[in-house]
Amino acid sequence: MNSDQRAAFITRRQFVTSSAAVLAASGFARDARANEYLVERPQQSGRGPFRVIIDTDPGVDDALALLLAMRSPELKIEAITPVAGNVPLELTLPNALRMVEIAGRADIPVAVGAKAPLMRRLVTAAYAHGENGLGGAVFPEPKIHPVNQPAAELIRQIVRKFPGEVTLLTIGPLTNIATALNLDPELAGMVRAIVMMGGSLSGGNITPAAEFNIYVDPEAARIVFQSGIPITMVGLDVTRKTSLTEEHQRQLQAGQNPVSQAAATIARNALQHNRERGFVVGPNMHDSLAVAGFIDPSLLKLKEYYIDVETTGELTAGETLGYSPDAGDLRRRPGMEKDAAATNMPIRGSAPTLASTRTSPVVRDKFVPNASVAVNVDSARFFELLIGRLSGKQ
């Protein structure tokens, strides 16, 4: 296969044709696992190692997240699977290879992922990450090469090799993951968990409604959220509290190792990029927080939600909707949440139009959570972990 064939391992028509079957099959897995979606995760730094695949679209914060992961003994990284997102695949792929080289981790396979969303044209975020994805920081061309398998196939192979052991750390659009689930309808039941950077319950960052990773490929995100895989969603509700500062950059610059120096260069350029464009704060470390939250879950406060993704809204496509019996105007008094949720909280779709004879679609007849959503973060401790690992102090 050439690179274009690998990136488009299945066609979009094939995906649409078969994805209904995937969702139908995943419904059984979702119901069977509804009470066990809070799968054991590392409870503190120092445990593991845990098998992970990192799906990513480097990206400034992706690059630092990759370096953090590769400097963390808690993680056994089985593969890195770049995807188009912050910048096109032609840049995310070599950026990922560069980070692997800088970290001295050529043992980690890197596979070519999707170059476009499942059903949409690619929207990138060069306005935030610079034209090369790294805030304008320039590194040599990578000497290592990706493996022959397409990303979705490599994900499938690794998960099947280690059923129940692999956590997917997804810090980009979810195209590769949805494609893997489409290729293998049994795969969802074999994935240990997903920890994703994506989504928001408090407004978006590319539209007022949508967070970027979900916005880029909302159809893929919906498949993932409805797959039955245990999900931890680390979204804008917490990542907005992780702004990189000049002091962080100086601490990285003081580190005497290639990873710290590369991270400092990326940070310096990203900070300058933000200043030139008038942003009030430095770049947020969205993706690094998702990785750090898996390494040390005590950094995050989590709350159970049923999450679904808007895919048809003209102005709201990519919005993540969170349903909960004890949040917002639907909240119940303490002690009543479970009873009320079981009987009085169907998950509804939009009201029917005058031209339609159907009633409002009920997605679920009762509240059953499908995700743990991060609602608060210890930002100081997060940066202690991030800067400490990258600078070599931890």
Residues that are catalytic: 286
- What does DSSP assign to residue 375? E
What values do phi and psi take at 270, rounded to 5?
A: -65, -40
Contact indicator for 75, 112 with CB cutoff of 8 Å: no
Q: Compute the Cα dihedral for 360, 30, 186, 291 and give only its sign.
A: positive
Count the residues in the chain.
394
Between CA 328 and CA 314 the distance in angstroms is: 25
Amino acid, single-letter form, for residue 246: E
What is the distance in angstroms between the CA of the first residue and the CA of the last residue of the chain?
42
Give all strands (DSSP E) within the chain, no chain letters.
50-56, 75-82, 167-170, 193-197, 231-234, 300-309, 320-323, 347-348, 362-364, 371-377
Between CA 50 and CA 60 the distance in angstroms is: 25
